[in-house]
Structure 1
Amino acid sequence: MPGSIVVGTQWGDEGKGRIVDIVAKECQHVVRYQGGHNAGHTIVVDSETFALQLIPSGVLYEHVTPIIGNGVVINPWVLIDEIDMLASRGVDCGRLMLSPAAHLVLPYHQIADELAEAQRGDAKLGTTKRGIGPAYADKAARVGLRVEDLLEPMTLRSRLLSVLADRNAYLQRVYDHPGVDPDELADQLITEVAPRLAPLVADTVGWLHEALHAGERVLFEGAQATFLDLDHGTYPFVTSSNPVAGFALVGSGIGPGAIDQVIGIAKAYTTRVGSGPFVTELHGETGEHLRDRGAEYGTNTNRPRRCGWFDAVMGRQAVRLNACTEIALTKLDVLDELDTIKVCVAYEVDGHRYDYLPHLRSLHDRAVPVYATLPGWKTPLDKVTQRWQLPRQAVDYIVFLERQLGLPIRYVCVGPGREQYIRFAA
């Protein structure tokens, strides 16, 4: 069946929205399968920038049906604001479909997230404090509210009264916070939110299966990336869901036989936001150069990103975990001014070499990068539109990464614009 997955292979911010926008031209449906509004996808169209948090990137194409799947947690006010923002800029969101099984991020989730992170002090996890973790925790505890509850006002009010009796007691006891008024919140959801979102609720699972059986191309996009995955990332400095490609099936309601393509997105260097291990991190002038040239600040939070060299150890592990079939390389142009460029080809821990991520966190924490050094190209790439126009050193760098990852690099981005990319591999 014609299903494609786009997945980040690093710690997020690889440019997934950009690649989705490229690939979506040939798709009829784009599905967001996990995460919440704690991650943003940025797309530049004709010098106009769109920063999306919940709505799938394919919404910018009129022929695409954008779908928010059951694996996503939705702050309804953020979603409404995003719909209004797009409408004000001429983008129709009437095609948007919401899974009734997607869970809601509500004010008490955000309050709990903010208070918990503040209490951690120096041991902060680096959460965006958007309430994503507590919402997923409520989902696992089977007390979460779902999109479908917006369609039943009496049920919604009853469930809020029940869950807030417990959540308010917790906030008061642990944080001396007064909590949230359940009736006031119910009134807001019933009068402000439900009328806006109810018309978008649909049988997304049935729709997707019919589309796939009809041979229509469906693209699945997640938020964050492989090494922020709750199970496979650098725990505990991870997100609260599973960005890996396998969760696209769970988060949208399809089976593995529907997928024939997994595109792993990798930045030409590596970045990370917040705390956690980062073997190739650069602390000096080169790291600052990458941050400035790459505008490495969070789409939603504006937090500065930590920067370092490309890590092929992480890349190979990500290819394994996601069963990637190809790679898309972004931000190659950020390296334009460097005399030499390094790539981490292995880790060394206590004299032992690792070509894949060490299986124990204690080993990862002590890892030292083993680098290969390649010459830079010292030439602007922003006007390049064909592979033959690339400087030889840039081609050598891309081919070196292909060999390290064991996969073809299909797309190479050389600037932020919609058309600033080349097809590198056939």
Structure 2
Amino acid sequence: MDIVLGLQWGDEGKGKFIDLISENYDIAARFNGGANAGHSIKRNDKRITLKMIPSGIFMEGVQNIIGTGTVLDPVSFKKEILNLQVFDESIQPAKNLIISKKAHFVLPTHKLLDVYMEENPAYTTIGTTKNGIAQAYSNKILRQNVRIGDMYSLDFKERVEHILVRDYQFLADGGMKLPDFETLCEEFFDAVEFLKQFNCTETELFLNKALVEGKTILAEGSQAAMLDIDHGTYPYVTSSSTTASGACSGLGVSPKKIGEIFGIAKAYCTRVGNGEFPTELFDELGDELRIKGNEFGSNTGRPRRIGWLDLPALRYAVMINGVTQLVLTKADVLSGLKSVAVCTHYELKGGAIETTAAVLPENAKPVLKWLDGWNADFSAISDVSILPKELTDFLSFLEAELGVPVGYLSIGPGREEILKMK
């Protein structure tokens, strides 16, 4: 099983890379997250954002899995499926998409609770997508939630309504203006009926049987390493494990079965929402890169924060995930700059400190190293040998600092605009 992971704060271009290589695999499997993901894919001059559906859905013969470690909102899922079929009528997701019975539901009140906590001063505001993801995971841990397989139980509706009534009353007591309860329930249960057309099974058994038969699996992560619930910039993180170890637990596959671990990173950094971002740019250059790189959330449309490449954070992500190949994206966005910067380390009171943004001391300052910029018409580049020397020097610098080879270089937004380096 190979794994594709984001190494920064998300939006690194995982969807594009997965879409490119998934045709080489028999199975593409999502192992974490929910509809808070936004993997943008461009096909036939049209762009679509996949939230829950694995990025291998467009590949003929590739089986797609929504794994146990995910949380699924049936209302959002139904909309995504219908949108996908409008986007490409040839796609038949009911035939090549399998959902884990052990994955957890995102309930309608989970979204409302997200909004309530984001807007209530009694709670820490972290800038979530308000898709109910944290509420679903927290109720999973509290053992107060329902799983996909529960929808076949005779008392499923009764159990769900019990939770919804409890949450609804809590929110009403808190003074929140709420949608009609009956409409909320009807939309949810209608979407659950829609969900039943899909094959829902114990995906752990399916995946391990496939491995025994010699089939290949590509595990797809959502969000990124620096948003990991344990290893990220807490509390401004997601609610699941975004790391390689999370792929094993989220899919029920042994670590001994892992092969390549592709780590995706931009040539600079971005993040959405609140939280530590030590290399952030607040000047006109940041605005320029945001526009040039189309740095707006694929799921929410929110403008992304922009900053220089953070090597301590990237080195940490490479280490904890055991990355075997780096996939660098957005190098073309930096084209035309006389020089580009990377943060090599942090200083506190004039002395270098070994740390990452996840636990950065309050007064620590990033130390930047400036490298020669590059200038090229990337639309005319089809071979590694004609890359600008300044860019190849930049790549060599990263390889030396990170101890991992750059296996692929993305040079544009298009699906085919990516070079295999080695």
Give TM class, smaller chain: over 0.9
Q: What is residue 142 of structure 1 aligned with on the other side?
A: 143
The residue type equivalent to 1:373 in the other structure is W
In structure 2, the partner of 1:109 is: 110
Does the 8 A contact of 2:375 with 2:388 survive in 1?
no
Q: How many Å separate the matches in 1 of 2:329 and 2:176?
A: 46
| Deviation (angstroms), 1:52 | 0.5
Q: TM-score, normalised by structure 2?
A: 0.95
Aligned 8 A contact 2:101 2:147 in 1:
yes
Q: How much has 1:143 moved relative to structure 2?
A: 1.2
The residue type equivalent to 1:174 in the other structure is G
Alignment of 1:186-225 (within 5 A): 187-225=186-224
Amino acid aligned to 1:19: F
Match of 2:332 in 1: 333
Residue among 1, 4, 7 paired with 2:5: 7
Aligned partners of 2:197, 2:379: CA distance in 1, in Å?
Answer: 44
Aligned match of 2:68: 70
Task: Give per-residue Cα distances to partners, 1:356-409, cap 9 Å, x unaligned.
Answer: 417744x1x422111111111122223322110101111111111111111000
Partner of residue 29 from structure 2, selected from 27, 31, 47: 31
1:392 alignment counterpart: 389
Q: 1:144 to 1:335 in 2, by over 3 A?
A: same
Residues 387 and 354 of structure 1: is their aligned pair in 2 closer, same or farther, counting only changes over 3 Å? farther
Residue by residue, what CA displacement relative to the aligned partner does 1:7-52 show, whole Å, maximum 9, x if unpaired? 1110000011111112212111010001111120011123221210
Bigger CA drift: 67-76 or 16-25? 16-25
Q: Deviations over 1:135-159 (max 9, x none)?
A: 111111111121112222x321221
Alignment partner, residue 369 of structure 1: 366
1:411–1:423 contact (8 Å) kept in structure 2: yes
Q: Does 1:411 align with 2:408?
A: yes
1:122 deviation in Å? Answer: 10
Question: 1:5-404 residue pairs with structure 2 within 5 A?
Answer: 5-88=3-86, 89-90=88-89, 91-93=91-93, 94-120=95-121, 124-152=125-153, 154-176=154-176, 181=181, 187-357=186-356, 360-361=359-360, 363=361, 365-404=362-401
Q: Distance in 1 between matches of 2:287 and 2:342?
A: 18
Report the aligned-residue RMSD.
Answer: 1.9
Q: What is the rounded CA distance, in whole Å, between the counterparts of 2:40 and 2:348 in structure 1?
A: 37
Give deviations 1:92-138, integer Å, cap 9, x for gaps.
21210000111111210011100110113995201111111111111
Partner Cα distance (1:309, 1:232) in 2? 21
8 Å CA contact 2:71, 2:137 repeated in 1: yes
Task: Please give the alpha-carbon distance, in whole angstroms, between the structure 1 residues aligned to 2:233 and 2:354.
Answer: 17
Q: Offset at 1:177?
A: 5.1
Unpaired runs of 5+ residues, structure 1, are none
CA offset digits 1:230-267 (Å, max 9, x no partner) = 11110111111111111111111111111011111101
- Asked if structure 1 preserves the Cα contact closer than 8 Å seen for 2:342 and 2:369, the reply is yes
Q: What is the CA–CA distance in structure 2 between the aligned matches of 1:7 and 1:402, rounded to whole Å?
A: 18
- The whole-number CA distance in structure 2 between the counterparts of 1:99 and 1:306 is 35
Say if 2:13 and 2:264, in contact at 8 Å, map to a contact too: yes
Residues 52-98 of structure 1, C-alpha deviations (whole Å, 9 max, x = no match): 00100011111211100011111111111111122222222121000
Q: Larger deviation: 276-285 or 168-177?
A: 168-177
- Give SS of 1:243's match: coil
Q: Which amino acid aligns with 2:100?
A: S
1:420 equivalenced with 2:417 (yes/no): yes
Q: Which amino acid aligns with 2:339?
A: T
Q: Distance in 1 between matches of 2:310 and 2:358?
A: 16
In the TM superposition, what whole-angstrom CA distance separates every residue of 1:304-350 from its partner, at most 9, and x where no partner exists? 00101111111100011111111100111001121111111111122
Kindly provide the amino acid, as one letter, of the partner of residue 28 in structure 2.
V
Work out whether residues 117 and 123 of structure 2, in 8 Å CA contact, stay in contact via their aligned partners in 1: no
Contact 2:233/2:358 (<8 A) preserved: no
SS of match in other structure, 1:78: helix
SS in 1 for 2:382: coil
Identity %: 38
Q: TM-score scaled by structure 1?
A: 0.94
> For residue 396 of structure 1, what is the amino acid of its counterpart?
D
CA contact (8 A) 2:276 2:358 kept: no
Contact 1:160 1:186 in 2 (8 A): no
The SS at the match of 1:207 is: helix
Report how many aligned residue pairs link the two structures: 419
Distance 1:113 1:385 in 2: 46
- Aligned to 2:395, the other structure's residue is in SS state helix
Distance 1:175 1:138, change over 3 A: farther
- Relative to structure 1, the CA distance from residue 381 to residue 359 in structure 2 (aligned partners, 3 Å threshold; closer, same or farther) is closer
- Cα offset, 1:214, TM superposition: 1.6
Contact preservation (8 Å) 1:36, 1:73: yes
